[in-house]
Amino acid sequence: MKRILVTGGAGFIGNHLCRRLLNEGNYVICLDNFFTGLKQHIEDMLDNPNFELIEHDIVEPIDIECEQIYNMACPASPPHYQYDPVKTMKTSVLGILNMLELAKKQGATILHASTSEVYGNPLVHPQQESYWGNVNPIGIRSCYDEGKRAAETLLMDYHRQYGTDIRIIRIFNTYGPNMDPKDGRVVSNCIMQAIKGEDITIYGDGSQTRSFCYVDDLVDGAIRMMNNDKGFIGPVNLGNPSERTVLNLAQMVLEMTGSNSKLSFMPLPSDDPVKRKPDITKAQQMLGWEPVVDIKDGLAKTIDYFKSIS
């Protein structure tokens, strides 16, 4: 049994990660300030003696006895991280500083959830970890994109300067049950609008591409990365290399929900990436990982979840 701290543990990916780690026999400490996380996501774990909930914001220091830290804390959808961009930047920079100090003090391994957004609107396709990105440092998405890039810098510097045991994963589009129906992401938008019979919003002409990874696959990759014994610290792409257009996704959702919703085309948001597809060669070679959940199976579970809360 390991003592494992999961920051952002009540968030979308965090709650799935907590549940998996708990089911594997660990003592799990879920830390969340509930800015975007929801207590209802973790209610089924609260009675478990090996689960602990701490309400705390990682912008402030904290001392917790632990062997592993999964740093998942940060609003990750544009409406959430643009709501308070200064807070988003603080969470990425001050938050990772506090977690790195904790890891250094405890001698813990720290895994940081970075993002495909570090690649910006990429000029290289698919995106490999060696690509430095094409990012606007002063745009409306910069609080998130540049915050995550700065966090990666701090992780590498703590590793080089103090020998801190780090892991960096770059998460591509992830979906599944417990997504926030109002998070503004394409999967949740399409499903909720289809269920309600509203026009489905397509930004641009829908030709922009995304690669959708089911949350169980993502969690499996994160745990493999944390526990790999090859000295592999990353960064490593975790995502589904099956690329599809946003328009194709909307059409799939319409078909699977049986909705009569129409498509409504709106202007493309500022700095919205045109292409997004991970090269997962490193994950395959170093972690033996690749996604296994088919998009239709994952969407079916996600649609059932959204129907249950509608």
Say whether 144 is catalytic: yes
Which one, of 132, 73, 138, 143, lies nearest residue 102 by Cα?
A: 73
> What confidence score (pLDDT) does residue 233 get?
98
Q: Which residues contact 249 (CB under 8 A, 6 or more apart)?
A: 186, 187, 190, 210, 212
Q: 7: which strand partners?
A: 31, 71
Q: Are 249 and 187 in contact (CB under 8 A)?
A: yes
Out of 70, 144, 158, 175, which one is annotated catalytic?
144
How confident is the model over 277-283, as a mean pLDDT?
97
Residue the block writes with tokens 């979840």: 305
Q: Beta strand 243-245 with 209-211: parallel, antiparallel or unpaired? A: antiparallel
- Would you state the pLDDT for residue 81? 81
The domain ranges of the chain are 3-174+213-241+277-292
pTM summary value: 0.94
Q: What is the per-residue pLDDT for 307? A: 95
Among the residue ranges 87-96, 113-122, 267-276, the one predicted with the least confidence is 267-276
pLDDT at 181: 87
96 pLDDT exceeds 90?
A: yes
Q: Which of 92 and 274 is assigned the larger pLDDT?
A: 92
DSSP 84: S
Q: Cite the DSSP H helix spans in the chain.
A: 12-23, 78-83, 85-106, 142-162, 186-196, 215-227, 246-257, 281-282, 295-309
pLDDT over 90, % of the chain: 86
pLDDT digits (tens, 9 = 90+) for 203-237: 889 998 899 999 999 999 999 999 999 999 999 99
Instruction: Kindly state the tokens that stand for 260.
Output: 């009569």
SS3 (DSSP) at 240: coil
Q: How far apart are CA 80 and CA 243, in angstroms?
A: 25
- pLDDT of 102 reads 98
C-alpha angle 289/295/299, rounded to 5°? 125
| pLDDT for 249 beyond 80 | yes
Summarised one tens digit per residue, pLDDT across range 98-132 is 999 999 999 999 999 999 999 998 999 999 999 99
Sign of the Cα pseudo-torsion (88, 212, 42, 29, in order): negative
Q: Tens digit of pLDDT for each residue in 228-242?
A: 999 999 999 999 999
| Cα 111 → chain centroid | 13
> What's the whole-number mean pLDDT along residues 55-62?
98
CA diameter of the chain:
58
The total number of residues written for the chain in this structure: 310
Lowest mean pLDDT among 43-52, 73-82, 159-168: 73-82
End-to-end Cα spacing for the chain: 38
Q: Which CATH number fits domain 3-174+213-241+277-292: 1.10.3720.10, 3.40.50.720, 3.40.50.300, 3.20.20.80?
A: 3.40.50.720
State yes or no: pLDDT of 275 exceeds 90.
Answer: no
